[in-house]
Amino acid sequence: MQNAYKLLAQQLEISNNKAKELIDKGMVYVADKKVKIARALLPDDTRFRIEEMGDIKIIYEDEHIIAINKPAMMDSYDIQDAIEGSELLHRLDRETSGVLLLGRDQEFIKSAVEEFKARRVKKEYIAWVEGIIYEEIEIDTPISTVKKGKAVSRIDKAKGKPAFTKVKPLEIQGKKSKVAIEISTGRTHQIRVHLASIGHPVVGDGQYGSRTLSSRIHLHSAKISIFDYTFEAPQPKEIEKYK
Instruction: Name which of 220, 201, 212 is nearest 129 in CA terms.
Output: 201
Helix (H, G, I), strand (E, B) or coil at 10: helix
* Catalytic machinery residues: 93
Cβ 130 vs Cβ 166: under 8 Å: no
Give 231 or 16, the one with higher predicted confidence: 231
The predicted pLDDT at position 130 comes to: 97
- With b for 16 or more beta-carbon neighbours within 10 A and e for fewer, the 48-58 pattern comes to beeeebeeeee
pLDDT in tens, 125-154: 999 999 999 999 999 999 999 987 778 999
- pLDDT for 168 equals 98
Distance CA 98, CA 116 (A): 18
Domains of the chain, residue spans: 2-50, 57-240
Euclidean distance between CA atoms 229 and 227, whole angstroms: 6
List the beta bridge partners of residue 145: 153
For residue 136, count CB atoms less than 10 angstroms from its CB and return exposed for 0-12, middle for 13-18, buried for 19 or more. Answer: exposed
8 A C-beta contact, residue 227 and residue 115: yes
**Segment 41-87, tens digit of pLDDT:** 888 888 888 776 667 899 999 999 999 999 998 889 989 988 889 99
Class for the domain spanning 2-50: alpha beta
Name the pLDDT band for 15 (thresholds 50, 70, 90): confident
CATH code for the structural domain at 57-240 = 3.30.2350.10
DSSP one-letter code for 206: G
pTM of the model: 0.81
Return the SS3 of 237. helix
Beta bridge partners of 126: 180, 220
